[in-house]
Amino acid sequence: MPPELLEFEEPIGVLLKEIEALSMLPQTPERLRSIESLRRRADEIRNDLYSSLTPWQRVLVARHSARPNTLDYVGSLFTGFDELHGDRRFADDHAIVCGFAEYKGQPVCVIGHQKGSDTKQKIFRNFGYARPEGYRKALRVMQLAQKFGRPILVFIDTPAAFPGVESEERGVAEAIALNLREMMMLEVPIVVIVCGEGGSGGALGIAIGDRVLMQEFAVYSVIPPEGCAAILWRDANRKVEAAEALKITAPDLLRLGLIDQIIPEPAGGAHNDPARASALVDQALEPTLAALMPVPVSARLAARYEKFRRMGTEEQAFVDTQKLAGPRPGPAA
C-beta atoms surrounding 272 within 10 Å: 19
Range with lowest mean pLDDT among 127-136, 249-258, 309-318: 309-318
Q: Give the list of residues 6+ apart from residue 234 with CB closer than 8 angstroms, or none.
A: none
Q: Are 153 and 111 in contact (CB under 8 A)?
A: yes
29 has a pLDDT exceeding 90: no
pLDDT score of 1: 54
Q: Burial code of 231-254, b = ≥16 C-beta within 10 A, e = fewer?
A: eeeeeeebbebbbeebebbbbbbb
List strand residue ranges (DSSP E) for the chain, in order: 79-84, 96-103, 106-113, 152-158, 190-199, 211-215, 219-221, 261-263
pLDDT score of 2: 63
CA distances from 60 to 65, 95, 189 (A): 10, 21, 32
C-beta atoms surrounding 186 within 10 Å: 22
Residue type, 8: F
pLDDT score of 30: 76
Q: Which tens digits make up the pLDDT trace of 3-20?
A: 788 888 888 778 777 777
What's the DSSP call for residue 208?
-
C-beta atoms surrounding 25 within 10 Å: 9
Q: Are 138 and 204 in contact (CB under 8 A)?
A: no
pLDDT score of 162: 92
pLDDT score of 44: 81
Q: Average pLDDT in the 307-327 region?
A: 58
Q: Average pLDDT in the 104-123 region?
A: 93
Among 108, 261, 95, residue whose Cα is nearest residue 193? 261
pLDDT score of 321: 47
Q: Which residue has the higher pLDDT, 270 or 28?
A: 270
Q: Average pLDDT in the 135-155 region?
A: 96
Which three-class secondary structure state does DSSP give residue 237?
Answer: helix
23 has a pLDDT exceeding 90: no
Q: Which tens digits make up the pLDDT trace of 190-225?
A: 999 999 999 888 899 999 999 999 999 999 998 889
326 has a pLDDT exceeding 80: no
Q: Average pLDDT in the 284-312 region?
A: 92
CA distances from 38 to 5, 170, 268 (A): 17, 55, 16
Is residue 148 exposed (0-12), middle (13-18) or buried (19+ Cβ within 10 Å)? exposed
Q: Which tens digits make up the pLDDT trace of 149-198?
A: 999 999 999 999 998 999 999 999 999 999 999 999 999 999 999 999 99
60 has a pLDDT exceeding 50: yes
